[in-house]
């Protein structure tokens, strides 16, 4: 059989595949955010409404700020033993299946559906539904919900609105298109709880998180005439403030927000691993920067894991930024 080049499938092809299968595992990426989880929960809820069996897999626990999402309490890293052999694994919001983590048992390509909006998705599934122009994976899922003809109820609407608000930074980022705002309005009319999403994902902070923010701000450094701002967080800082890795999630945006800054990086040296979050004001493509170092993401928001010392990570990221025009 001749393998054809992977391509992006149509809504009709995906819907036919969803109807054909009886059981589904919705797969979120490690260090989950509101998009990967909200997209999976929304599609999972819709599939349950048409009588399908749905399991939610996520290697890491549900972060505190996402526990309000409908069905979040059902998310597990331990899959049931009695799943049928043709269970479809639906990977949400990841350019490569490896982002699901090493805890996921091996899945045949035949049983992989890839739903995403990242630049440079590797089209790893049997079917791939990747729409790079969409602001979130949840809005990609919306096309499938319409295709399936499942009514969007308040629970599904909350999940999808959470994906939009997560990936647009609460309607602030440049991916906040008129279409995204129109869809958000439609979801609110269907009962999406915008107040709860705002409070849980954006407003409520632990005191420990605010103390940690203070330390990260103290450690800020500015390079290249103040256009590049970076800082770090390590285990000692977490211990001194009582914060944990979850409390570092949106801190990089504070760095990007400093006057004159074009591009920002937060280096997280936590539990023996260095994770780097990159954000751009729009001039430099941080997806390309992250990809040079084995990571990925979007033009203005990307990330990677660095193997080496913190000082080496600082140098490697700065070098990659320079190649990309810093």
Asked if 93 is part of the footprint of Mn ion (rule: CB under 5 A), the reply reads yes
Considering the complex, state which of residue 184 and residue 290 has its C-beta at the smaller distance from ligand 5GP: 290
DSSP codes, 297-313: E-SSEEEEEE-S-HHHH
Considering the complex, state which of residue 93 and residue 200 has its C-beta at the smaller distance from Mn ion: 93
Distance CA 194, CA 164 (A): 11
Q: In this structure, what DSSP letter does residue 76 have?
A: B
Considering the complex, state which of residue 137 and residue 302 has its C-beta at the smaller distance from Mn ion: 137
Distance CA 196, CA 274 (A): 32
Would you say 226 and 260 are in contact if contact means Cβ atoms under 8 Å apart?
yes
Least separation in angstroms between residue 294's CB and Mn ion is 19
- List residues binding ligand 5GP (CB under 6 A): 95-96, 99, 277, 295-298, 301-305
Binding partner selected for residue 121 from ligand 5GP, Mn ion, none, CB under the kind-specific 5 to 8 Å limit: none
Q: H-helix or E-strand containing 19?
A: helix 11-20
State phi, psi for 92 to the nearest 5 degrees.
-110, 130
Would you say 242 and 210 are in contact if contact means Cβ atoms under 8 Å apart?
no
Least separation in angstroms between residue 315's CB and ligand 5GP is 19
Give the count of residues interacting with Mn ion (CB under 5 A).
4
Asked if 114 is part of the footprint of Mn ion (rule: CB under 5 A), the reply reads no
What is the number of residues in the chain? 326
Considering the complex, state which of residue 87 and residue 137 has its C-beta at the smaller distance from Mn ion: 137
Least separation in angstroms between residue 169's CB and Mn ion is 12
Least separation in angstroms between residue 273's CB and ligand 5GP is 11
**Residues in contact with Mn ion by the rule CB under 5 A:** 35, 93, 137, 167
């Amino acid at each position: 059989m001749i393998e054809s080049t992977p391509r992006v499938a149509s809504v009709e092809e995906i819907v036919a595949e969803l109807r054909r299968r009886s059981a589904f595992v919705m797969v979120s990426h490690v260090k989950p955010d509101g998009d990967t989880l909200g997209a999976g929960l929304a599609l999972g809820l819709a599939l349950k409404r048409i009588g399908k069996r749905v399991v939610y897999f996520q290697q890491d626990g549900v972060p505190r700020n996402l526990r309000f999402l409908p069905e979040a309490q059902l998310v597990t890293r331990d899959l049931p033993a009695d799943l049928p052999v043709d269970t479809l694994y639906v990977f949400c919001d990841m350019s490569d299946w490896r982002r699901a983590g090493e805890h996921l048992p091996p899945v045949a390509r035949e049983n992989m559906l890839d739903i995403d909006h990242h630049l440079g998705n590797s089209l790893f599934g049997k079917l791939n539904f990747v729409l790079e122009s969409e602001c979130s994976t949840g809005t990609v899922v919306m096309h499938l919900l319409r295709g399936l003809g499942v009514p969007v109820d308040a629970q599904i609407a909350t999940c999808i609105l959470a994906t939009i608000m997560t990936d647009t930074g609460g309607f602030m980022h440049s991916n906040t298109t008129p279409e995204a705002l129109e869809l958000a309005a439609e979801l609110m009319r269907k009962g999406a709880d915008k107040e709860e999403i705002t409070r849980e994902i954006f407003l409520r902070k632990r005191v420990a998180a605010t103390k940690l923010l203070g330390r990260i701000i103290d450690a800020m450094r500015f390079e290249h005439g103040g256009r590049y701002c970076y800082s770090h967080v390590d285990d000692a800082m977490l211990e001194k403030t009582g914060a944990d890795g979850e409390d570092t999630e949106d801190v990089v945006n504070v760095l990007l927000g400093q006057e004159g800054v074009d591009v920002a990086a937060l280096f997280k040296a936590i539990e023996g691993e260095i994770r780097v979050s990159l954000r751009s004001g729009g001039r430099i493509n941080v997806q390309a920067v992250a990809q040079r170092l084995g990571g990925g993401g979007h033009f203005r928001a990307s990330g990677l894991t660095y193997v080496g010392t913190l000082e080496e990570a600082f140098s490697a990221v700065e070098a990659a930024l320079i190649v990309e025009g810093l």
